[in-house]
Homo-oligomer: A and B are copies of this chain.
């Protein structure tokens, strides 16, 4: 079967899934949680094959690739958390009588079919597929090839449990060949949203080659700005966390901006020399305002908060940026004028994450301007439609003045 046909089948299933009662979707999630536990030995065996095949991979990648009892517990807990959440579908956002007998309702509905291309964390497969089930969306999943066996085992457990619980055939599909991606991104008739997670170049490739809306971020150039009246101890603690707590993450800080009045005192407190976990690089120019994803950080001195704001809006990636200050007015100015999905005051940029925002899990982080923006959880996987109910109402009567709208929300 070719991928276009696969996508078409998921599209057809997604209509049924989207119209299904919350109860059915929750029962399927519960069945999936149980099946993952029941099938755990098969899954762990598959994971050992991936770990063995990838034994020369860098240690952090192996850590993400590992799927053990601990990760299983986490995803099962995550699924039970989802089951407990209110149904995101058929929520009435607006209810308005336009005229007697003519009623408009804006109501949430699924987006349709979501294509997610994700990295080597097999737990991502569980999170994404269960978020899609809960939100009534069909899913086409392409995981990292390093996790091929684990992904296949997880997919089979989830798919079979879902089908047994009554979800429609093809409610999700797994795609294993990298070549599939270039075919799938052309399926704008069947796929409604693409969520590519991966390198900048890869995300950019998808954005440039598909007519399908893409949710995600190409770069994560996050800033920490230290204003003149920041608490220096706090500043050092937040800078070190934002930079080093997990350098490979998109929400790790890359550039440190420092108010000139506090720069000497702050820089004296930052770790320096060969024992420092971070290399602080004094900015020479444009070429230093980059995403390192490494233990490196560009440092630039600025005259004031406005210069910091301008710098961030110009060189940043509209992801997450932070100000350290004890002045609420300066913080408010920064949080109003910095044009990013996350604008933080006295907290590490590393908090930008669906789990840490209390969304249960996330399918990705969007740096686009339109909603959904920032970490995207369940709420970001639904859209809405307008239902209008009349009893033979025609526009001619309003155009001629025979009738008039009265617009009453209820």
B238 near A339: Cβ-Cβ < 8 Å:
no
Residues in A225-246 with C-beta less than 8 Å from chain B? 231, 233-234, 237-238, 240-242, 245-246
Whole-angstrom distance between the alpha carbons of A98 and B342 in the complex?
15
Contact of A393 among B192, B246, B351, B405 (CB under 8 A): B351
A342 near B386: Cβ-Cβ < 8 Å:
yes
A292: Cβ under 8 A from any B Cβ: no
Contact of A344 among B238, B246, B387 (CB under 8 A): B387
A358 near B15: Cβ-Cβ < 8 Å:
no
A54: Cβ under 8 A from any B Cβ: no
A6: Cβ under 8 A from any B Cβ: no
Most chain B CB within a 10 A radius of its CB, from A96, A238, A241, A370: A370
Interface size range of chain A in the complex: 35 or more
Q: List, in ascending order, chain B residues with CB within 8 A of A394's CB.
A: 237-238, 240-242, 245, 347-348, 350
A111 near B370: Cβ-Cβ < 8 Å:
yes
B245 near A396: Cβ-Cβ < 8 Å:
yes
A342 near B390: Cβ-Cβ < 8 Å:
no
Whole-angstrom distance between the alpha carbons of A398 and B357 in the complex?
13
Q: List, in ascending order, chain B residues with CB within 8 A of A368's CB.
A: 213
A358 near B96: Cβ-Cβ < 8 Å:
yes
Whole-angstrom distance between the alpha carbons of A242 and B370 in the complex?
32
B342 near A389: Cβ-Cβ < 8 Å:
no
Known contacts A358-B405, A384-B371, A386-B357: does B396 contact A346 (CB below 8 Å)? no
Q: List, in ascending order, chain B residues with CB within 8 A of A245's CB.
A: 394-396, 399
- Known contacts A192-B369, A342-B388; can you find 4 more A-B pairs with CB under 8 A? A112-B339, A245-B394, A246-B395, A345-B389
4 interchain residue pairs of minimum CB distance: A347-B390, A241-B394, A234-B392, A350-B395
